[in-house]
A and B are shown apart, each in its own frame.
Chain A
Amino acid sequence: MSEQLLRLDRVTVRFGGLTAVNELDLAVAPGELVGIIGPNGAGKTTVFNVITGVCRPGEGSVSLDGEGISGMPVHEIAARGVARTFQNIRLFRGMTVFDNVRVACHAGLPRGLHHSLLRTRAWAAAEEQARLRADSLLEVLGLAARRAAPAASLSYGEQRRLEIARALALKPRLLLLDEPAAGMNPSEKADLIGLIRRIHAEFGLGILLVEHSMSVVMGLCTRIAVLDYGRKIAEGSPAQVRADPAVIEAYLGESAPHS
């Protein structure tokens, strides 16, 4: 068995009587780009929530590089290299674009009150490092020009990119993108595909991508898992998934997989 970056083992999540995720097995190899699709309410976001520790699996386990992470606090999972974006954009709206990224560049900062209070040499060096990293990420995501703007003043597409920049600030091994193309027009989507390819290559990340836009998922992912009512009903290459009768069945009555 090859070592997986992320591994979900028969994960089940229940909300009262509703089973949002049902005995899900899923794995992502280091550097792999995997898609998750499924109709509305299929449990895709819940999968992200269970990986990042926002909710606990009722049964089953989640492991990262072989280490069990289910039950850990959200910030510790993040510190272990799992970063995410949110389906309904959650930026720090009262902060500038630059600070939104900088606040997540806290990995190398010295702990202890005296460092902040006395502005020690170690503090100053780490602080400079964090600023440089935040700026370089804004550069990568094409947001350098908006550096000083309040996050809330960005356009919709810019906000999505800022969330990705903030996620990358954690130096993740695994990046979870929840519908990054939602609300984008075709040309923005094409840009986004290019952008995700670029950060995937440049940062050598494993990426798990939830997306309704078939053009984005099919264009990016080597492997796609399909969820319906919390269950994985298919998994395979884009071509395999597209031809799978169970997938077509799941999408009937729903909006058919649009491109």
Chain B
Amino acid sequence: MIGRRHLPTLFLVLSLVGIGVLSANSGALNPYFLDVAVGAGINIILAVSLNLVNGHTGQFSLGHAGFMAVGAYAGAAVTLFAGPAVLVGTEAALPHALLFLGALTVAGLVAAFAGLAVGLPSLRLHGDYLALVTLGFGEIIRVLLQNCEPLGGALGLFGLPAYTTLGWTFGAAAITIYTVHMLVNSTRGLGFHAVRDDELAARASGLDLTRIKLSAFLVGAFFAGVAGALFAHFKLSIDPKGFDFTRSVEIVVMVILGGMGRTWGVVTAAVVLTVLPEYLREFSDYRMVSYALILVLLMLLRPHGIFGEKRPTPPPPTRP
């Protein structure tokens, strides 16, 4: 007999099995569809993990592409540099799978470490200032990578093995959704929302702000790193330009569109914003303009997101 509290875990296990079966038979699927689906899965991971930081914890981070870059390069380094030594020419599937699992894990951990470093300023900075610092972080990562010759400099890394499949991508997406859901939906998880709503009241209620903010950044960056490594072994080549500021903005738009803090809204937004540009290829020059436009319209018309419910924040009662 499984307790009600284990339903999400059951759901995760079933999803992973379903994804595994689907992935094993994905050869039958149209390759173009497969490409878009993997892209959507990666965006789901990015948006849901950023949602923990920006939506649930209320820390406006504009550096998610930076963590993605860190993960992409760390993962690529594992398969490119450590791969040959580990595999010694074997064709068997299992060693390759284990190598990729290792690469994804390393990617997540290295990015999580970067997340800690970027989370630290969030202890002192708020709102716009934090957004600027995280944006700066993303740009610094990009410039560092551009000038790091062992990692390919401006040309980047190429010739990566095509490890990323539908199964890996959606397996990781399911784990991301599960982790964020489990972290947030508990008494301790309410701490994220408390920090978002009122830091001083949260501290006075005995909540450790440092711990809460850093764990949001840590977990958020971990999954961004995993997404980066998936992306790298999907595109098979990476260069610093692929992780610039506009990528961060894209992810932020998904989170805001999905309604800050609403997991399924954010998932939907990630899918829509992956699929839609496919249909609007002729207009791709206007992509950033339209994101800006979407953001402005959203702030004016539906500040709680398209898929989010209205969050109750009428003006506070005034003191008589």
Q: Is the CB of B201 within 8 A of A86?
A: yes
* List of A residues within 8 angstroms of B194 by Cβ: 92, 95, 103
Indicate if A1 sits at the interface (CB-CB under 8 A): no
- As a 0/1 sequence over residues 206 to 227 of chain B, the CB contacts with chain A under 8 angstroms (1 = contact) are 1111000000000000000000
Contacting pair A92 B193 (CB below 8 A): yes
CB pair B317 A104 closer than 8 Å: no
Q: How large is the interface on A (under 10, 10 to 19, 20 to 34, 35 or more residues)?
A: 35 or more
- Cβ of A93 within 8 Å of any chain B Cβ, yes or no, is yes
> For the complex, is B190 an interface residue (Cβ under 8 Å from A)?
yes
- The reply to whether B206 and A156 form a contact with Cβ atoms under 8 Å apart is no
Give Cα A90–Cα B316 distance, bound, in whole angstroms: 10
Kindly list chain B residues whose C-beta atoms are within 8 Å of the C-beta of A93: 197-198, 312-313, 316
**Which residues of the other chain, B, contact A90 by a CB distance below 8 angstroms?**
198, 200-201
Q: Taking the nearest CB of chain B, how far is it from the CB of A180, in angstroms?
A: 13
On chain B, which size bracket covers the interface?
35 or more
**Cβ contact of B205, chosen from A103, A113, A130, cutoff 8 A:** A103
How many whole Å from B304's CB to the nearest CB in chain A?
Answer: 10
Interface string of B160-194 (1 = CB under 8 A from A): 00000000000000000001001100111111011
**A103-B190, A127-B186 given as contacts; is B316 within 8 A of A89 (CB)?**
yes
Contacts of B319 in A (CB 8 A): 88, 156, 182-183
B207 close to A155 (CB less than 8 A): no
State whether the Cβ of B5 lies closer than 8 Å to any Cβ in chain A.
yes
A94 and B204 contacting across the interface, CB-CB below 8 Å: no
B208: nearest chain-A partner, CB-CB: A75
Find out whether the CB atom of A84 lies under 8 angstroms from the CB atom of B187: no
In B1-20, which residues have CB < 8 Å from any A CB? 3, 5-6, 8-9
Q: List A contacts of B8 (CB < 8 A).
A: 119
| B206 and A79 within 8 A (CB) | yes
Would B311 and A94 count as touching, CB distance under 8 A? yes
A99 adjacent to B183 (CB under 8 Å) = no
Interface membership of B150, Cβ < 8 A? no
Question: How far does the Cβ of A199 sit from chain B's closest Cβ, in whole Å?
Answer: 17
Q: Are A152 and B312 interface neighbours, CB within 8 A?
A: yes
Judge whether A75 and B209 touch: CB under 8 Å. yes
CA distance A93 to B314 in the complex (A): 9
| Interface presence of B126 (CB below 8 A) | no
| Pair B207/A75 contact, Cβ less than 8 Å | yes
Is A78 in contact with chain B by the CB < 8 A criterion? yes
**Is residue B89 contacting chain A, with contact meaning CB distance below 8 A?**
no
| Cβ–Cβ < 8 Å partners of B207 in chain A | 75, 103, 106
Which one of B186, B205, B316 has the highest number of Cβ atoms from chain A below 10 Å of its Cβ? Answer: B205
What is the bound-complex CA distance between A93 and B312, given in angstroms? 7
Neighbouring B residues of A92 by C-beta, 8 Å: 193-194, 197-198, 201-202
The smallest C-beta distance from B248 to any residue of chain A, in angstroms, reads 25
**Contact, CB under 8 Å: B204 / A84:** yes
At the interface, yes or no: A116 with Cβ under 8 Å from chain B?
A: yes
Bound-state CA distance A95–B58 (Å) is 13
A94 and B188 form a contact (CB under 8 A):
no
Complex CA gap A84/B204 in Å reads 7
* Contact status B313-A94, CB under 8 Å: yes
- CB within 8 Å for A170 and B205 given contacts A102-B190, A117-B183, A150-B312: yes
Task: Kindly provide the distance from the CB of B54 to the nearest chain A CB, expressed in whole angstroms.
Answer: 14
The answer to the question of A52 belonging to the interface, with a C-beta cut-off of 8 Å to chain B, is yes
Q: Which of B5, B188, B193 contacts A109 (CB 8 A)?
A: B188
List of B residues within 8 angstroms of A167 by Cβ: 205
Q: B203 at the A/B interface (Cβ < 8 Å)?
A: yes
A124 within 8 A of B: yes
User: Is A74's CB under 8 angstroms from B187's CB?
Assistant: no
Q: Which residue from chain B places its CB closest to the CB of A81 in the assembled complex? A: B206
A83 adjacent to chain B (CB < 8 Å) = yes
Residues in A neighbouring B313, C-beta threshold 8 A: 93-94, 152
Tell whether, in the assembled complex, residue A103 and residue B209 are in contact, meaning their CB atoms are under 8 Å apart: no
Residue of chain A at shortest CB distance from B185: A116
- Distance of A89 Cα from B204 Cα, bound (Å): 13
CB<8 Å pairs between A and B, sample of 17: A74-B200, A74-B204, A75-B203, A91-B201, A93-B198, A94-B312, A94-B313, A103-B191, A105-B187, A106-B188, A109-B187, A117-B179, A119-B8, A124-B5, A127-B187, A152-B312, A156-B319
Residues of A that sit less than 8 Å from B by CB: 52, 54, 73-75, 78-79, 83-84, 86, 88-95, 99, 102-107, 109, 113, 116-119, 123-124, 126-127, 130-131, 150, 152-153, 155-156, 159, 166-167, 169-170, 182-183
The 4 closest A-B pairs by CB, nearest first: A150-B312, A78-B206, A74-B203, A92-B197
